[in-house]
């Protein structure tokens, strides 16, 4: 099949969950023998640096980016408020990208146009006008659910109503877009059911995040458990969750276990977190090698309270045999067994209890991690998941 993968940011380098999810789909489709052309939005925050892309990937995908200024603009945000456009989405539209799509679709034919996330759906009218390809939306998250959860937790009395308004706008837009594509590849079964519950006749398949298990070594380092979190800190749910952990959970742990260690790392780590130097904590920004960082530590903590979709870092941590302590919300979309291949904690008391349990029984983290790696091998093997995705494409092409 000839596939155009339209991305809201570069899939390379795969340094965060969203980029990694896109990259693994690209690589998986290539490995399955399909032709993939990658066209992505390049921004100041997420620039495409073609020179850094491996030669093989660059040649096979002919990857290219079009710069779009997605930086926040108060005037544009207010204008969208008046016109009822959703600013979260509209800032990803650019005439330059639209023109490049027209050029590309006038020169080449594709069987499937794979849209990575809701943020590239503003280009659907152009795709329909210049291509007969089936359009598939890859739903990484239910974006309106994330916004609703953020709005619920917003303490600023001025921002809260605006966030609620954006969430409602986004919910209506998301439902509209489901009806304007030919198929939806949802990342979790829960997301797929939520989308289908509104009566849409658009085919929806569940296509979870996948990895190549051979690329992950499930080895366990010696020593007392070191807790860690690794994630992009410019994503508000991550920042809110870690601040909550440091404020409500870690003081209890360090009080009763003075030797306990918590390591935090991630892109755009807030400077105040780095400067704080809280007892037992080590806080850094982006790390050069995520796998190495995970391999040198024991227990991943995922205190998410306003997320949605599937957390890529949890799947990677599981693939490496790491014990995960996560909220129910953070573990959404994973077919886990509580207490067997993951530990679930939804309150400060529960997080404290789980962490203290592992400090008292270090071997338990190893046992849970081994079961987690087994789960990933069975349910998140990228090669098998790509077979499901291409089978979904083929069903759509026959309609």
Same domain, 205 and 244: no
Residue reference for tokens 């849409």? 200
pLDDT at residue 82, rounded to an integer = 43
Same domain, 48 and 160: yes
Same domain, 161 and 55: yes
pLDDT at 111 over 60: yes
DSSP 218-268: -----SS-EEEEE--TTSHHHHHHHHHIIIIIHHHHHHH-TT-EEEEE-TT
Structure tokens at 243: 């601040």
**Which uninterrupted H or E stretch holds 39?**
strand 35-42
DSSP 320-344: TT-EEEE-TTTTTT----BTTTBEE
Same domain, 107 and 72: yes
pLDDT at residue 237, rounded to an integer = 87
Same domain, 345 and 315: yes
Rounded-to-integer distance, Cα 122 and Cα 45, Å = 20
Containing domain of residue 348, as a range?
214-379
Helices 159-178 and 143-153, axial angle in degrees (round to 10): 170
Same domain, 10 and 137: yes
If one compares 370 and 152, the residue with the highest pLDDT of the two is 370
**CATH number, residue 237:** 3.40.50.2000
Mean pLDDT for 83-108 is 86
pLDDT at residue 29, rounded to an integer = 97
pLDDT at residue 8, rounded to an integer = 95
Structure tokens at 28: 């998986």
Same domain, 228 and 350: yes
Contact 284, 167 (CB under 8 A): no
pTM of the model: 0.84
Residue reference for tokens 């045999």? 321
Structural domain count, the chain: 2
pLDDT at residue 269, rounded to an integer = 96
pLDDT, one tens digit per residue, over 225-276 is: 999 999 989 888 899 999 999 999 999 999 999 999 999 999 999 999 999 9
Same domain, 164 and 236: no
Contact 79, 86 (CB under 8 A): no
If one compares 307 and 70, the residue with the highest pLDDT of the two is 70
Angle CA 312–240–171, to nearest 5 = 70
pLDDT at residue 191, rounded to an integer = 84
Lowest-confidence range among 37-41, 46-50, 141-145, 167-171?
Answer: 141-145
pLDDT at residue 189, rounded to an integer = 86
Work out the pLDDT band at 154, boundaries 50, 70, 90. Answer: low
Lowest-confidence range among 48-62, 90-104, 206-220, 252-266?
Answer: 206-220
Structure tokens at 13: 């380098």
Mean pLDDT for 47-67 is 96
pLDDT, one tens digit per residue, over 347-394 is: 999 999 999 999 999 999 999 999 999 999 999 999 999 999 999 999
CA atoms within 13 A on the CB side of 201: 1
Same domain, 259 and 359: yes
Same domain, 224 and 185: no
pLDDT at residue 203, rounded to an integer = 97
Same domain, 169 and 264: no
pLDDT at 308 over 90: no
The mean pLDDT of the chain is: 90
Same domain, 277 and 387: no
| Cα 399 to the center of its chain, rounded Å | 30
């Amino acid at each position: 099949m000839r596939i155009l993968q339209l991305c809201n940011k570069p899939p390379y380098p795969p340094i965060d969950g969203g980029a990694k999810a896109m990259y693994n789909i690209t690589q998986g489709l290539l490995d399955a023998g399909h032709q993939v052309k990658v066209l992505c939005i390049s921004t100041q925050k997420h620039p495409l640096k073609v020179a850094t892309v491996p030669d093989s990937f660059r040649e096979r995908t002919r990857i290219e980016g079009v710069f779009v200024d997605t930086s926040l603009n108060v005037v544009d945000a207010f204008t969208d408020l008046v016109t009822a456009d959703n600013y979260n989405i509209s800032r990803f539209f650019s005439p330059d990208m639209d023109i490049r799509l027209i050029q590309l679709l006038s020169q080449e034919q594709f069987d499937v146009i794979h849209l990575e996330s809701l943020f590239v759906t503003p280009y659907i009218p152009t795709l329909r006008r210049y291509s007969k390809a089936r359009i598939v939306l890859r739903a990484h998250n239910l974006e309106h659910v994330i916004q609703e959860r953020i709005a619920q937790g917003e303490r600023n009395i001025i921002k809260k109503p605006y966030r609620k308004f954006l969430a409602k706008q986004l919910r209506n837009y998301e439902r509209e877009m489901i009806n304007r594509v030919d198929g939806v590849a949802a990342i979790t079964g829960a997301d797929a059911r939520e989308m289908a519950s509104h009566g849409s006749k658009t085919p929806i398949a569940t296509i979870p995040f996948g990895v190549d298990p051979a690329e992950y070594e499930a080895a366990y380092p010696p020593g007392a458990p070191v807790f860690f979190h690794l994630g992009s800190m410019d994503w508000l749910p991550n920042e809110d969750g870690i601040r909550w952990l440091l404020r409500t959970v870690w003081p209890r742990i360090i009080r009763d276990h003075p030797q306990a260690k918590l390591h935090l790392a991630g892109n755009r780590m807030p400077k105040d977190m780095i400067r704080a130097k809280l007892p037992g904590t080590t806080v850094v920004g982006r790390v050069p090698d995520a796998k190495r960082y995970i391999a040198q530590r024991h227990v991943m903590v995922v205190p998410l309270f306003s997320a949605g979709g599937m957390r890529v870092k949890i799947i990677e941590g599981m693939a490496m045999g790491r014990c995960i302590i996560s909220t129910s919300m953070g573990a959404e979309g994973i077919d886990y067994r509580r207490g067997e291949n993951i530990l679930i904690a939804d309150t400060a008391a529960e997080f404290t209890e789980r962490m203290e349990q592992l400090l008292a029984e270090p071997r338990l983290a190893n046992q849970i991690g081994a079961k987690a790696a087994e789960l990933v091998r069975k349910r998140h093997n990228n090669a098998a998941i790509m077979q499901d995705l291409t089978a979904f494409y083929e069903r759509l092409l026959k309609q």
